[in-house]
Chain A
Amino acid sequence: MSILILAEHEGGALRPATLNVVAAAKAIGGDITVLVAGHNAGDVATAAGQIDGVSKVLHCDDAAYEHELAENLSALVLSIAESYTHVMFAATAAGKNVMPRVAALLDVSAISDITDVVSDDTFIRPIYAGNAMATVKSTDKVKVIGVRTTSFEAGAESGGSAAIESLAAVAASDLVSFVGQELSKSDRPELTSADIVISGGRGMQSGDNFVMIDEIAAKLNAAVGASRAAVDAGFVPNEYQVGQTGKVVAPNLYIAVGISGAIQHLAGMKDSKVIVAINKDEEAPIFQVADYGLVADLFDALPELSKALDG
């Protein structure tokens, strides 16, 4: 078995998602090569070589890879993919953008969002927003896989000492160019990697009321999320969205405030270790997945909770 992983990085550092993909690759077993494509990303290549379990790093430095343009990244991965039995990506926005292209260009199926490894050719993945788990088997000669990062505990960042080899760039596409980005600014940890997440739903009634959530998040060093209903109502931007159509999170503690627990929301948080639900409707489906439920008006409960955390 020989496995190729496309590293994800930004601002000169590996994204934590890459460590989760390495963990999934270890579950398959075999030699693990990490491809670092970027511009002036030498530090990332060095960091990738130190990941426990990685046997080789391929580093391609070219301006074409400064932004994660799908055409350019998929062409680069394709240039080496056939030397591997498995090509793996994180199931992030960036990974999902590239992974199916590589599969199609190899004329093989792509296997999205795996949550478990049964064997080197058989994997488990959620379908229908996690309401069912499909076991799928691939007979393709290269298995192209997206890894749901929250399902594989990140391995150690150090302990490895892989050799770094440079890889030639592939001609850049002239069909696409990067214009700009508008990243949400937050002092809080990133949603998908936070230990604690506190999310608000339609019950919050307005975006302004999210300051109550922010206050508690600051005290717990938690990330702030929201249900699709809260996003659709315009309370908070879409990048806050936890759920099937937003982000999938699995923190140690997930606090759902004023969230009824629609199927699509549960799909994005039900793998959290401990779930707390605060809702005034005791019939709300969220209580069926909560470890601790508090039936209360959130406008009473949140200030009280904030105060209790000071003590």
Chain B
Amino acid sequence: MKILVGVKRVLDYNVKARVKADKSGIELANVKMSMNPFDEIAVEEALRIKEAGNAEEVIVVSIGPSQSQETIRTGLAMGADRGILIETDDLLEPLAIAKLFKHVVEKESPGLVVLGKQAIDGDNNQTAQMLSALTGMAQATFASKVEFDGDHLNVTREVDAGLETIRVKSPAIVSTDLRLNEPRYAKLPNIMKAKKKPLEIIPVADTGVDVSVGLSVVEVNEPPEREAGVIVSSVAELVEKLRNEAKVI
């Protein structure tokens, strides 16, 4: 069985996002970019499934600019077998990403697709669900535990009130939540080895997929700032202010 894993190159989570002066988006020139943290969890899970003998090959897929090759190489250094980049300089909406991913699914026929539950740039939390709907593969989102049982998977999911477990038939699409695992760091020899692993680059135009969508960003603004508050000197003063000034307790 093959596993496809989606990885996205995003602004590093430790870097504060700054809105461009022309309000067209976020400043991404000369800032640190990394693999989306939920995607690191996805790569790790795929590798563990392979190491447990439940898969033969882990393929890392990214859809984005040429520099996304670095993100794919990170996945290969963690231990994935090969990479596919669908190259585009446009910032695509999740619907277009899901359609392109479907194109890869049709080509590779994976038994499992593992995606991060959301990318920390657009915060959409859509692609896995859309890919499931478009391919007809079973959906198990926000996974905190994945167990194989023949041609089925038992997936424990993080829901608002706790955890729930569903059973889905392979081939399935899993989206990762925080608790699923702790991703490994790539070791130096593996980083060197990753440079020699195959990475196929497919221009988006060659896929024949229509990536136009009916949603556009009009502008991007800074969020409203909170006004600075006051520092109180004691617990007594804090309680007094909460009771009599803010009137919230």
Contacts and interface: CB of A to CB of B under 8 A. Distances in A.
Given A103-B126, A110-B130, A180 B165 contact: yes
A92 B241 contact: no
Contacts of B49: none
A138 B120 contact: no
A170 interface: no
A192 B160 contact: yes
Nearest to B158: A238
A301 interface: yes
Contacts of B169: 174-176
B11 interface: yes
Contact of A294 (B17, B95, B144, B235): B235
A138 to B, nearest CB: 5
Contact of A293 (B179, B214, B229): B229
Nearest to A267: B123
Contacts of B158: 93, 238-239
A264 B214 contact: no
A293 B161 contact: no
Interface stretch (B54-62, B105-113, B133-141, B187-195): B133-141
Nearest to B213: A109
B139 A132 contact: no
A177 B221 contact: no
B179 A238 contact: yes
B2 interface: no
Contacts of B165: 178-182
B14 to A, nearest CB: 8
B133 A127 contact: no
Contact of B226 (A98, A129, A289, A309): A289
A305 B239 contact: yes
B52 interface: no
Contacts of A190: 161
Contacts of A168: none
Contact of A134 (B129, B132, B163, B220): B220
Contacts of B131: 104
B181 interface: no
B133 A252 contact: no
A304 B167 CA distance: 49
A270 interface: yes
A109 B166 contact: no
B217 A136 contact: yes
Given A101-B139, A294-B235, A239 B160 contact: yes
B165 to A, nearest CB: 4
Contacts of A289: 226
B16 interface: yes
Nearest to B216: A137
B21 interface: no
Contacts of B160: 92-94, 192, 239, 247
B29 interface: no
B17 A70 contact: no
B113 to A, nearest CB: 14
A99 to B, nearest CB: 7
B94 A110 contact: yes
Interface stretch (A51-59, A152-160, A273-281): A273-281
A136 B215 contact: yes
Interface in A69-88: 69-71, 74
B249 A220 contact: yes
Given A131-B16, A138-B214, A140-B215, A110 B124 contact: yes
A287 interface: yes
Given A70-B129, A74-B133, A133 B138 contact: no
Contacts of A69: 166
Given A94-B160, A292-B229, A176 B138 contact: yes
B238 interface: yes
Interface in A284-303: 287-296, 301
A112 B166 CA distance: 24
Contacts of B17: 127-129, 131-132
A202 B94 CA distance: 34
A172 interface: no
The 5 closest A-B pairs by CB, nearest first: A109-B215, A140-B214, A100-B126, A128-B17, A104-B130
30 contacts: A69-B166, A92-B160, A93-B157, A93-B158, A96-B125, A96-B129, A100-B126, A100-B127, A101-B129, A101-B133, A109-B215, A127-B122, A130-B223, A132-B19, A135-B217, A135-B221, A136-B218, A137-B218, A175-B169, A176-B139, A178-B166, A179-B165, A180-B164, A238-B158, A264-B13, A276-B238, A289-B226, A292-B231, A292-B241, A305-B238
Given A137-B216, A181-B159, A181-B161, 13 more contacts: A97-B142, A100-B124, A112-B123, A133-B222, A136-B215, A136-B216, A176-B139, A179-B164, A179-B166, A179-B167, A220-B249, A228-B178, A289-B226
